[in-house]
Amino acid sequence: MKNTIKSINPANEMIIQEFPDWDMDEIAPIIEEADNAFEKWRLLDFAQRAQCFFSMAKLLRERKADYAILMANEMGKPVSQGEAEAEKCAWVCEHYAQQTAHYLADKNIVTENSESFVTFKPLGVIYMIMPWNFPFWQVIRGAAPTIMAGNTIVLKHASNVFACALAIEGLFKEAGFPENVFRSLLTGSRTSADIIAHPKIRAVTLTGSERAGQHVAAQAGQNLKKSVLELGGSDPYIILEDADIDLAVASCGASRMLNGGQVCIAAKRFIVVESKRAEFEGKILELMRSYQMDDPLDPASNFGPMSKIKLRDELHQQVLQSVEQGAILKMGGVIPDKPGAWYPATVLTDVKRGMTAFSEELFGPVATIISAKDEAEAIAIANDSEFALGGAIFTNDIEKGRRLARDVITTGTCVVNGFVKSDPRLPFGGIKKSGYGREIGEFGILEFVNIKTVVVS
């Protein structure tokens, strides 16, 4: 009997739908179809491709309420946040529809030849492996630049959001994209190595865990294929002595608790200079208490369940280990006695080097407060991580903040007096064990093109 993959509502543990788990016998023909679609799609000009993305943006806005319900049911996102996600997807579609002709315009270079220029040509079929936490945004933010550049895509979405994956495939069709420009593959991770090895797959992009990134990078390397990896984060938010504490608390809380804390670029380590620790701690505790677990289908809810029981239990073990290692549990940290992947807003203080909460990514609604004696120690703590995706600095000395963000903090993104958000206009990605390559912005669209030199003597 063929294996199936279940979509389970994390709020109540009820099975929503079961999907077949495809083998390569079913996947390989789809890759071939995507390659055939590429040969036609690549010949269309930017204006023709853009019309499809403008249509998609319109559909996303019209159907945002329906898509938000789908996200809430499959992975627990509050519907208000799901609607905002659909709106952001519309934005990235419009951005690339408007900007790709500029981003990918031929670039003339003066040499001794009569003509020298660089042109940007699509590669072919790109394999996307995407996570569940932003089931529409993660896919469409990668698909918009990749497909506008002339490529086609086959997607392996996270297995708990297959209904979202099929909805996105349907969205491409209804927006007027040619058949097979975008396809969703209903398969688990066991087929990924064979998919990457398929001769018609030209590159692979993954957003996921460090472990998944290691496997994909190895498989891509073995097959000499380009890869882009956006992996975990343990983002440091540094609160200096001259910081606006109310602004810092509001920014840290909003970043930490968006999507129930299940965000790679969420604020995860609150590093506070000792002179401001008591004030910051008191106010962040007050803010975190305002996040009460609620039905994600309620429009007033801002905090739903985690996406899976397994991930909730893993997070809880990280909290317990940290407490055993000497961290102080100020609030939360208790699994509710009810069905579903619920976990309360939690705060750990007195977190130090060597503790689980210091060194590991806590992917859920847990804030960790780390005290530093001064600015120098705060910066050293911030950079003392294997992850380097995003980070923030809070200070009223804007020039100092700018200098530290630009030259000192080792992350892919650093914000002064705010929190990290992905933006279609700006490149996004990390260094160290947070991955490599960039998504979105002008640099993102260049990841999956042939940067081709043409010389006319």
**CATH code of the domain in which 381 resides:** 3.40.309.10
Residue 253 shares a structural domain with residue 219: no
Domain interval for residue 254:
235-424
Residue 186 has pLDDT above 90, yes or no: yes
Q: Is 361 left (phi over 0), alpha (psi -120 to 50) or beta?
A: beta
CB 251 within 8 A of CB 419: yes
Q: In what order do the strands lie in the sheet with 449-456?
A: 107-108, 115-122, 449-456
- Whole-angstrom distance, CA of residue 287 vs CA of residue 39: 54
Tokens found for residue 153: 């895509």
Q: Give me the CATH number covering residue 41.
A: 3.40.605.10
CA angle, corner 193, sides to 228 and 437, nearest 5? Answer: 5
pLDDT at 383: 97
Three-state DSSP at 271 gives strand
User: H/E element holding 37?
Assistant: helix 24-41
Asked whether residue 330 falls in the same domain as residue 374, the answer is yes
Split into its structural domains, the chain has a count of 2
49 & 22 share domain: yes
Residue 187 lies in a domain: yes
Looking at the predicted structure, is the pLDDT value of residue 177 above 90? yes
Residues 219 and 347 in one domain: no
**Domain shared by 173 and 269, yes or no:** no
Is residue 1 predicted with pLDDT exceeding 60?
A: no
Is there a domain that residue 170 lies in? yes
Beta strands in 12-100 (DSSP E): 15-20
Q: What distances in angstroms separate CA 249 from CA 174, 237, 378, one per listed residue?
A: 43, 10, 17
> In this structure, what token pair is assigned to residue 121?
């040509």
Residue pLDDT, tens place only, 48-87: 999 999 999 999 999 999 999 999 999 999 999 999 999 9
One domain, residues 257 and 186: no
Given a contact cutoff of 8 angstroms between Cβ atoms, the answer to whether 397 and 244 are in contact is no
Regarding whether 259 and 180 lie in a shared domain, the answer is no
Q: Do residues 113 and 208 both lie within one domain?
A: yes
How many Cβ atoms sit within 10 Å of the Cβ of residue 12?
Answer: 13
Interval 377-405 mean pLDDT: 97
364 & 324 share domain: yes
The average confidence (pLDDT) of the chain is 97
Please give the distance of CA 130 from its chain centroid, rounded to a whole number. 8
Cβ-contact 4, 20 below 8 angstroms: yes
Q: Is residue 217 part of a domain?
A: yes
pLDDT tens digits along 321-346: 999 999 999 999 999 999 999 999 99
Statement to judge: residues 319 and 398 lie in one domain: yes
Q: In what side-by-side order are the strands of the sheet with 366-372?
A: 328-331, 346-349, 366-372, 267-273, 235-239, 390-394, 413-416
Active site residue ranges: 230, 264
Q: Does the pLDDT value for residue 176 go beyond 60?
A: yes
Domain assignment of residue 429, yes or no: no
Query: Residue type at 228?
Result: V
> Do residues 211 and 435 lie in contact, with contact meaning Cβ atoms separated by under 8 Å?
no
Residue 137 is assigned to a structural domain of this protein: yes
| Residue 76 resides in a domain | yes
Beta carbons of 30 and 125 less than 8 angstroms apart: no
Tell me, yes or no, whether 189 and 266 share the same domain.
no
Q: What is residue 3's predicted lDDT score, i.e. its pLDDT?
A: 86
Considering the domain architecture, whether residues 29 and 85 belong to the same structural domain is answered as: yes
Sequence-separated (6 or more) residues with CB below 8 Å from residue 302:
78, 80, 81, 257, 291, 294
Let me know the angle formed at the C-alpha of 365 by 363 and 371, rounded to the nearest 5 degrees.
90
Instruction: Return the pLDDT at 115.
Output: 97
Asked, for residue 15, whether it belongs to a domain, the answer is yes
Is 286 among the domain residues? yes
User: Residue 48: is it exposed, middle or buried by C-beta count within 10 angstroms (0-12/13-18/19+)?
Assistant: exposed
* Nearest Cα residue to 254 out of 238, 265, 241: 265
* 148, 364, 445, 450, 453 from 121: Cα distances, Å: 11, 40, 11, 5, 11
Mean of the pLDDT values across residues 313-320? 98
